[in-house]
Amino acid sequence: MSQRLGPVPQLGRNTLHILQTVKALTDRGVTLVSTTDGIDSSTAAGRMIIGVLGLLAEYERELTKERTALKRQASRANGTKFGRRRKVNDAEHIATAKRMKADGHTAEAIAKYLGVSRATLYRYLSDNCAAV
């Protein structure tokens, strides 16, 4: 009995996992057939093609990782910073928050005024977080 399934975007995490998955499916009587590429896991040639395509995909993934790491390293050497920008980035914000707290404003009101969450407010006022 043959059953047609939709496209399978990823058969495994790496080449070894792909080959183990194909073998496990074959042992259970399941045949993988790519109708668009003419690959059939029931034949030796089909299993070889699956392995070669898996190797090429893993190779390309490793190349992408290497290129990304090199680009990131070069960017850092040129002074580029990575990550999110801090919402509270200067002493003026912190001083304003402390002043508002001393005036009796709630943490919610202070956070709304500064455009940050209460968690961010507490993080930057950690010495006074219980009192905010």
What is the tens place of the pLDDT at every residue in 82-107?
A: 877 766 667 788 888 888 888 998 88
Mean pLDDT of the chain: 81
Report how far residue 132's alpha carbon sits from residue 129's, in angstroms, rounded to the nearest whole number: 5
Mean pLDDT value of segment 116-131: 70
pTM of the model: 0.51
Angle at 60 between CA 54 and CA 66, to 5 degrees: 140
Report how far residue 21's alpha carbon sits from residue 47's, in angstroms, rounded to the nearest whole number: 11
Report how far residue 32's alpha carbon sits from residue 42's, in angstroms, rounded to the nearest whole number: 7
Report how far residue 75's alpha carbon sits from residue 17's, in angstroms, rounded to the nearest whole number: 34
Mean pLDDT value of segment 2-20: 69
